[in-house]
């Protein structure tokens, strides 16, 4: 029987067509309820008469739609509260079981793929989740995977920037959705996994933990809540990602978890204690997970260790030093990290360093006694020589203002002053020289 108001037939499934803002509704309607996916049959929305009540929350945990009313459904049209009209169409039975890669039979394949979009390749059609996708390394990774034909689930706190990245990725001709997510909230990471699985017809192939923040300053002069936020994002955020991804990987028998670490995972970063605690903790987390996954040879945990990258992180992060912060040289292109992630997705490897400085830091962490002391001296010296600046919590508790981008513009800067979170990068070179000098008996 067809509902005369909504136009939907009992027992049939209906989806919102992929037109304006449809990425907000990746699931399906059936019998007056809205579900995220066939494997996740817990309704998150309802049709009451013609009113569509959608239980969706933003990064702060607040309802996206006033009174949870997303709009009205009449005559197979979803009209949102802002007036946007979205078409609704019935899902054919054959489409509900079609594999992700077999889209030509479902009519979902683009008739003329755009230039640069691969028709074949090892990542073609793979479902890839990227956290921290709104800027820096995450944004570069989104571009890299999009142009390899992967289907992307983009996550970050900054909704506006996230949808900019979504547009950039779909310009490559691939499919993508954007899901506003704060990785410090359990429910939002769980919702991200649920919507990603629905987008992937029950499957996620690659999960990239990349969201990160930082706070620089004397340990006791940096507010405790700032330390906590760094650890909640940089360590617990990764743990939450692994916690929701691994059960899916085990159920499907394969999957790749990629974690963005740092040269700071080997060399402690004085004046960024919470950052160091997070990055050192991630090494332990990933090693422990590998130990638990020995019975699953097709599930991989890959660590990426970048050197100092030219991202907006130094500009946007928390700064409690009273001085301006700039990264040290050499500063590398974030796209190098994105390429390393793609390489791991194609041929997984446990550890990948990006940039010669990262490799030096790894070596020096084993060879140079007292390296953190040297790093602390260099960092303190660099900070004190830098111009005065106001203290700021930066992007710790909310997305930064201003234009988001991949690059931070540091490679174009003429300022060579080594002010940094990771002053250890400079200490590595000095430390290696020390190890080769004669030692007293």
Q: What is the pLDDT of residues 349-396, one digit of tens each?
A: 999 988 877 777 667 666 666 666 666 666 677 777 778 888 888 888
Tell me which of 107-111, 191-195, 291-295 is least confident.
107-111
- What pLDDT does 93 receive? 63
Strands (E), 110-150: 127-131
**Average of pLDDT values for 44-49?**
85
**Average of pLDDT values for 397-413?**
76
Instruction: Please state, rounded to an integer, the average pLDDT across all residues of the chain.
Output: 80
> Rounded CA gap, 41 and 27, in Å?
10
- What pLDDT does 319 receive? 87
**Average of pLDDT values for 139-168?**
93
- What pLDDT does 376 receive? 65
- What pLDDT does 331 receive? 86
Which entry of 238, 271, 275, 305 is annotated as an active-site residue? 275
C-alpha distances in angstroms, 239 versus 213, 242, 246, 281? 15, 5, 10, 10
- What pLDDT does 392 receive? 84
Tell me which of 8-12, 118-122, 150-154 is least confident.
118-122
- Contact assessment for residue 278 and residue 259, using Cβ atoms and an 8 Å cutoff: no
- What pLDDT does 433 receive? 40
- Contact assessment for residue 52 and residue 78, using Cβ atoms and an 8 Å cutoff: yes
**Average of pLDDT values for 161-174?**
88
**Token pair for 328:** 């040290």
Return the HEC string of 389-403: CCCECCCCCCCCCCC
**Average of pLDDT values for 57-70?**
66
C-alpha gyration radius of the chain: 24
Please tell me the pTM assigned to this model.
0.68
Band of residue 270 on the pLDDT scale cut at 50, 70, 90: confident
Residues 277-327 pLDDT 10s = 999 999 999 999 999 999 999 999 999 998 888 888 878 888 898 888 777
Active site residue 275: yes
Residues 18-37 pLDDT 10s = 544 445 677 788 888 888 76
> Rounded CA gap, 22 and 16, in Å?
6
Bridge pairing between strands 215-216 and 33-35: unpaired
Decide: helix, strand or coil at residue 63: strand
- What pLDDT does 368 receive? 67
Q: Does 102 score more than 60 pLDDT?
A: no
């Amino acid at each position: 029987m067809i509902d005369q108001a909504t136009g939907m037939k009992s027992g049939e499934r209906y989806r919102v067509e992929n037109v304006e803002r449809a990425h907000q509704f990746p699931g399906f309607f059936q019998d007056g309820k809205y579900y995220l996916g066939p494997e996740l049959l817990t309704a998150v929305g309802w049709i009451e008469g013609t009113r569509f009540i959608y239980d969706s929350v933003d990064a702060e945990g607040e309802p996206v739609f006033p009174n949870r009313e997303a709009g009205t459904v009449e005559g197979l049209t979803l009209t949102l509260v802002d007036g946007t009209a979205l078409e609704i169409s019935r899902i054919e039975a054959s489409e509900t079981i079609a594999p992700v890669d077999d889209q030509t039979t479902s009519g979902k394949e683009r008739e003329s793929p755009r230039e640069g979009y691969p028709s074949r390749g090892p990542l073609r059609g793979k479902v890839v989740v990227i956290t921290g996708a709104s800027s820096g390394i995450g944004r570069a990774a989104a571009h890299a995977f999009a142009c390899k034909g992967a289907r992307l689930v983009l996550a970050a706190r900054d909704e506006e920037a996230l949808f900019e990245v979504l547009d950039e990725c779909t310009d490559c001709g691939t499919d993508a959705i954007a899901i506003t997510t704060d990785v410090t909230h359990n429910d939002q990471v769980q919702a991200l996994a649920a919507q990603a699985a629905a987008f992937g017809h029950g499957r996620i192939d690659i999960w990239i933990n990349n969201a990160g923040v930082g706070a620089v300053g004397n340990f006791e002069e940096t507010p405790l809540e700032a330390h906590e936020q760094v650890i909640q994002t940089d360590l617990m955020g990764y743990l939450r990602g692994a916690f929701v991804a691994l059960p899916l990987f085990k159920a499907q028998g394969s999957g790749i978890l990629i974690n963005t670490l740092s040269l700071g995972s080997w060399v402690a970063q004085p004046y960024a204690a919470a950052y160091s605690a997070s990055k050192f903790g991630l090494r332990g987390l990933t090693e422990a997970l590998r130990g638990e996954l020995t019975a699953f040879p097709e599930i991989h945990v890959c660590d990426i260790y970048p050197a100092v990258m030219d991202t907006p992180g130094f500009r946007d992060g928390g700064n409690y030093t009273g001085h301006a912060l700039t990264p040290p040289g050499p500063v590398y292109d974030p796209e190098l990290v994105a390429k390393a992630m793609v390489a791991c997705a194609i041929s997984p490897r446990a550890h990948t360093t990006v940039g010669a400085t990262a490799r030096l830091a790894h070596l020096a962490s084993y060879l140079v006694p007292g390296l953190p002391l040297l790093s602390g001296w260099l960092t303190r010296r660099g900070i004190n020589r830098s111009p005065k600046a106001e203290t700021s919590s930066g992007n710790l508790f909310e997305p930064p203002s201003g234009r988001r981008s991949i690059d931070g513009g540091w490679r174009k800067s003429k300022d060579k002053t080594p002010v940094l979170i990771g002053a250890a990068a400079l200490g590595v070179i000095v430390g290696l020289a020390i190890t080769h000098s004669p030692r007293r008996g």
